[in-house]
Amino acid sequence: MSSLAEARAAALAREAARTASREAIAEQRKSDWARPRRSTEELRALAREGEELFSGSGIGAVDEGSYDQIIDWVARTFGYRTAVACSMADAVLPHTVQGAIPWVDVLFLETGYHFAETLGTRNNVENSMELTIVDVQAAQSVAEQDTAHGKDLWSRNPALCCQLRKMEPLTASLKDYEVWITGVRRDEAPTRTNTPLVTFDEKNGLVKVNPLAAWSLDELLGYAAANNVIINPLLNDGYPSIGCQPCTKRVAPGEDPRSGRWAGLDKTECGLHV
């Protein structure tokens, strides 16, 4: 067989294996989505259960639960009513979840303002991992937003731009899930130092889990290297925190990793995690 034919056969075998793996979880996914969504009070009680199980003696204590214990609890408790948020700065968080919940939904906020590298990372993740990527889009395209609010809203009113392109679409997309998993880490910013491992998200009305909260950036990169996980090439090009292109600048070595986000503006968070 020629090397071209061998490569083609290998690609076909890989695709067949992915299809079989997706089909293997289809019944479980269907059954999890067939039951009614738990009530707010039931979800609040499950958030309290998670807090009790994993918070140990408090934020940063050595007896806090580990990421894999927490993800295992999420898989057993919520199954496919779970959403994983991913900015495509790296695929570490989805990688930690895909073993417990294969083909879990991964929500990617497709704001229309991403770096080409971020969109490339999104496509690599979709084509190589056992995940279901869901592009979460704003009600208006960028062109429609320009017409309604004037061009480059991000430069004049980034709070409104984030509200329209990130927060409102995310809230709408979370309404049928029971839990969302985020990659928020305490070392990312002073606003994140008290991030709990499990909590109830009052704003969106579901359980919120932050299994990597205690990790440092080095631990994250170490996990990625050890497990051959896709990372956005910008991470190694001066962008330790990656958001929309117009609102993300390069950061000098040793600077606050998030100082490149909305640089020069009185804004440090898009609002998703505050």
Interface positions with ligand SF4 (CB under 6 A): 111, 113, 154, 158, 161-162, 165-166, 243-244, 246-247, 270
CB-hemisphere CA count at 13 Å for 182? 23
- Kindly state the smallest distance separating residue 163's Cβ from ligand SF4, in Å: 8
Which contiguous run of DSSP H or E holds residue 28? Answer: helix 26-34
Which contiguous run of DSSP H or E holds residue 83? Answer: strand 82-85
Catalytic residue among 86, 209, 234, 270: 270
**Of 162, 173, 181, nearest to 85 (Cα)?**
181
Q: Is 86 annotated as a binding residue?
A: no
Closer residue to ligand SF4, CB minimum distance, 113 or 256: 113
**154 and 161 Cβ atoms separated by less than 8 Å:** yes
Place of tokens 């990656």: 242
- Kindly state the smallest distance separating residue 271's Cβ from ligand SF4, in Å: 9
- Kindly state the smallest distance separating residue 167's Cβ from ligand SF4, in Å: 9
The CA distance from 76 to 94, in Å, is 17
Q: Which residue is nearest to ligand SF4 (CB)?
A: 244
Rounded to 5°, the CA angle 86-88-91 comes to 80
The CA distance from 105 to 79, in Å, is 11
Closer residue to ligand SF4, CB minimum distance, 86 or 101: 86
- Kindly state the smallest distance separating residue 142's Cβ from ligand SF4, in Å: 9
The CA distance from 223 to 235, in Å, is 14
Tell me the backbone φ, ψ of residue 237, rounded to 5 degrees.
Answer: -130, 30
Closer residue to ligand SF4, CB minimum distance, 165 or 192: 165
Closer residue to ligand SF4, CB minimum distance, 83 or 242: 242
86 assigned to active site = no
Which contiguous run of DSSP H or E holds residue 161? Answer: helix 158-162
The catalytic residue positions are 270
- Binding site residue list for [4Fe-4S] cluster: 161-162, 244, 247
The binding site comprises 161-162, 244, 247
